[in-house]
Amino acid sequence: MENLSTLTGKYGDEGDQLLFKILNSGDYLKDVTVEDLNSGAQPTLRKVSEKGLRYDLTVPFARYVVMNRNELTFHSNASRFSQFWRADRPQKGRYREFYQCDADVVGTDSLVCEAEIILMIRRVFGQLNLRDYAIKLNNRKILTGIAESIGAAGNESSLCVAIDKLDKIGWEKVKEELLARILEQIRLKTEPSGQFGSKSNRKACFFEDFFGQSETGLQGVKELEDVFDLLKSMGEDLANVELDIMLARGLSYYTGAIFEVKVNHVSIGSVSGGGRYDNLTGGFGLPGVSGVGFSLEWIVFMMCWRNWDYFLPKISIAPRFFWCILMPKDLNMLWDCFRNYVQQVFRLRFTQT
C-alpha cells in the first residue's frame, strides 16, 4: 500500500486509471459536497481516498531511495519480490493480482548497467531452460526523435501509449483510437526502408538519416549502438537480442533504453520488461538520480509451462509441497504436468474454484 500522491502521475493517464484506490477509514463521505459529485470522479476521489495498492515496484523503490538517501551508497543495486494489483480486465497474461521480481541499479547513468541487465536476463532464462525467446530493445529517445521528425514534438507520451498497444489490438485499431495522423506518417516514412519494427535488424544507421536534426533521436541511436558494443566488448554475442522500434513500454517514467522479453511460440505478451528512468526520484525531492531495472512476472512464466517438452527447468532445490488453486478448465493441464514431470519432486494438492 502506498499514498496515492506517490503513485499518481508516474504511469501516464491510462496507468493512473488502473490504480486500485482504498477508501479512507471512517466516514469517508463527510467532506464530499454536491458540487464535487456534479464535477465528476476526480474531485470526489481526492476527498474519499488517500491510499492505493502498489502498481509496480519501481515507483515505490524511487520513494524508498529518497527516504533512505543518507544510508545508501550510490550506485546501489536492489532486488525485490512482491505482490501487485492492477484494475485491469482479467485475461490470459493479465491479472488484477500477481507477483513480480524486480532488479534495479540506481545512482548511475552508465550504459554498462543496460548491458549487464541483458546478460542477467539471458542467465535467468538459461537457468529456466528457456531457449526460444527474444529480448526486444529500443530507446525512448528514438521515439522522441520520431515524434520530432514528423512535426509532433510534445506528443511523445501519447505516441508511446499508442505504439505500446500495437501487439494487443493491431495497427488499424490503434490508428482509430489514438494519433492516427502521427502513426500513419511514421509508417509511410519508415516502411520503405523495410526496417521499421524489424525483429532481426540490429543496425540503427537508417535512423541516423531519418532523424536529421533531432539531437534526442540521434542520442537514442548512439545509446543503443553503445549497448551493443559493450556486449561485444564483454565477449558476448547478440543472441536473442533484437532491435524493435515498435517497442514503446506504456509507462511514462521511462526515458532511455527500454526492453521486453517475449517467449516465442507462446500466445501471451511479455514475460519480462524494464528500462532506464532518469529523475524519477525528483518527484520525491531528490532530482538528478538515474536508474535502470527490469522485472520478471513469474505468474506469466507458469503459463509458458503448457508446452512441457519446450520448458523443462532443472530443479536442484525444490519445495516439497506445491498447492495449486485453479479453474476447472485448467485441471487437465496441471494434472498432465504432475503425472509426467514433477511427481517425484512435489506433493501436489489441487483446489478448484
In this predicted structure, the answer to whether residue 88 has a pLDDT above a threshold of 70 is yes
**How far apart are the two ends of the chain, measured CA to CA in Å?**
27
Tell me if 95 is assigned to a ligand binding site: no
Q: Is the pLDDT of residue 116 over 50?
A: yes
pLDDT per residue as tens digits for the range 269-294: 788 889 999 989 988 989 989 999 99
Q: H-helix or E-strand containing 49?
A: strand 49-52
Q: Which residue has the cell 553503445?
A: 226
Q: Is 324 exposed, middle or buried, given 0-12, 13-18 or 19+ CB atoms closer than 10 A?
A: middle
Q: Taking residues 316-339, what's their average pLDDT?
A: 52
104 is in an annotated binding site: yes
In this structure, is the dihedral angle defined by the CA atoms of residues 115, 121, 127 and 131, taken in order, positive or negative? negative
- Is 336 labelled a binding residue? no
Q: Indicate if the pLDDT at residue 75 is higher than 60.
A: yes
More reliable by pLDDT, 275 or 328: 275
Is 140 flagged in the annotation as binding?
A: no
Cis status, amide bond into 75, omega within 30 of 0:
yes
Per-residue pLDDT band for 345 (boundaries 50, 70, 90) equals very low
Is 254 annotated in some ligand binding site? yes
86 is in an annotated binding site: yes
How do beta strands 321-326 and 49-52 pair? unpaired
Task: Convert the pLDDT of each residue in 36-47 to its tens digit.
Answer: 777 777 777 777
A 10 A CB-CB count for 299 gives 13
* Angle formed at CA 322 by CA 321 and CA 328, multiple of 5 degrees: 145
Task: Check the annotation: does 286 bind a ligand.
Answer: no
Nearest to 54 by CA among 86, 93, 89, 13: 86
pTM above 0.75? no
Q: Which residue has the higher pLDDT, 119 or 201?
A: 119
Fold of 58-304: BirA Bifunctional Protein; domain 2 (3.30.930)
Q: In this predicted model, what pLDDT tens digit does every residue of 228-249 receive, in sequence order?
A: 888 888 888 888 888 887 787 7
Phi-psi sector, 171: left (phi>0), alpha (psi -120 to 50), beta: alpha
On the question of pLDDT at 255 being above 80, the answer is yes
* Cβ pair 259, 275 in contact under 8 A: yes
Check the annotation: does 100 bind a ligand: yes
- Average pLDDT value over all residues in the chain: 74
d(CA 140, CA 216) in angstroms, rounded, equals 9
Enumerate the CATH 3.30.930.10 domain ranges in the chain, comma separated: 58-304
Enter the C-alpha cell of residue 75.
550506485
Instruction: Work out the pLDDT band at 314, boundaries 50, 70, 90.
Output: very low
Distance of alpha carbon 139 from its chain centroid, rounded?
Answer: 13
28 is in an annotated binding site: no
The yes-or-no verdict on residue 30 having pLDDT over 80 is no
Measured CA to CA, the distance from residue 297 to residue 307 in angstroms comes to 18
Whole-number pLDDT of residue 64: 92
Residue 198: the pLDDT is 41
Q: Whose grid coordinates read 565477449?
A: 235
Q: Which residues pair with residue 347 across a beta bridge?
A: 321
